[in-house]
Structure 1
Amino acid sequence: MPFVSLCYKINIQKKKEESYMKNYSIGIADGARTEFHQTLGLTGAEVSFNSLPAGVSVPFVHSHKENEEIYIITEGKGTLTIDGEVVKIKKGNVIKISPNGKRQFAAADDEGISYVCVQVKENSLTSYTENDAIIY
């Protein structure tokens, strides 16, 4: 999984500089689901890295009360069932689902799937990079 390796390499390279890590945090994905909100001290989003082996699906359907989710498929292929509609997904796809959308992930029978899930409160973004960035 390239995402896991990348995080691990960054962690090793920066380990000697931990006393200087004032403006950023590093998390390492190390399981079928790794949540980063506590590890990274996130205050405006919930981020997780998820992996399903071939032929396995998330064992439940879920939705949210207020949060939309953005899924970034980093490896493999599978299906995402959204409100009863089955959508084929693969590496490189990015999907946004509104809070009330009922969703369930499944890996393909012949290949696993890995994805990043970013969860944020719907309609909470008040400024974009072009208006919020400070260029030095």
Structure 2
Amino acid sequence: MSEIKTLNSGEKFAHASIGSLHGFEGKQFVKDAIGATSCEISFGSLPTGAAVPFFHSHKENEENYIILSGAGKFQVDDNVVDIAEGSVIRVATNCDRNLRCTSAEPMAYICIQAKEGSLGGYTMTDAEVTERENLL
């Protein structure tokens, strides 16, 4: 299992890494390493034929899964869908979920967990274009 490393941080940001996703195995949560206050983010990987070893549901938080590589099946209650690289799956509260890797290569994914119904403004309804010297 990879270990998350905090690389640098400031008053208004934190930068951490689990390293290369190629060959990443297991599950790594990042909320604490970056000091997130609005969501939990995790990286996960399943080898060929493996599934998360349990079904689970959340009382207050929805989960959003982003499949980075590989392919498989995703089950929400009694519904099963095919998933693959590029798939994005939102799962509401109070329902069971699980996923299985069916591809020859491991399945890597990101899961973002946040309070259901909490998103207010987003994209440009919550953004403001600002003027600043570009140091990039």
Superposed pair shares fold, TM > 0.5: yes
| Percent identical residues | 37
**Paired residues, what number?**
123
What value does the CA root-mean-square deviation take over the aligned residues? Answer: 2.2
1: CA distance between counterparts of 2:123 and 2:92? 22
Taking a change above 3 Å as real, the CA distance of residues 109 and 135 of structure 1, as seen in their structure-2 partners, is: closer
Decide which moves more: 80-89 or 27-36: 27-36
TM-score (norm 2): 0.81
Decide which moves more: 122-131 or 25-34: 25-34
Q: 1:44 and 2:38 equivalent?
A: yes
2: CA distance between counterparts of 1:29 and 1:49? 8
Q: 1:69 aligns with which of 51, 54, 63?
A: 63
**3-state DSSP class of the match of 1:27?**
strand
**Unaligned residue ranges in structure 2 (runs of 5+):** 20-24, 131-136
Where does residue 104 of structure 2 map in the other structure? 110
Does the aligned pair in 1 maintain the 2:70–2:103 contact within 8 Å? no
Where does residue 134 of structure 2 map in the other structure? none
TM-score (norm 1): 0.81
Give 1:1-136 correspondences, 5 Å limit.
18=8, 21-29=10-18, 31-108=25-102, 110-136=104-130
Tell me which amino acid in the other structure corresponds to 1:73: I
**Unaligned residue ranges in structure 1 (runs of 5+):** none
After TM superposition, the runs of 4+ consecutive aligned structure 1 residues lying more than 6 A away are: none
2: CA distance between counterparts of 1:127 and 1:61? 32
Tell me which amino acid in the other structure corresponds to 2:53: P
Q: By how many angstroms is 1:109 displaced?
A: 5.4
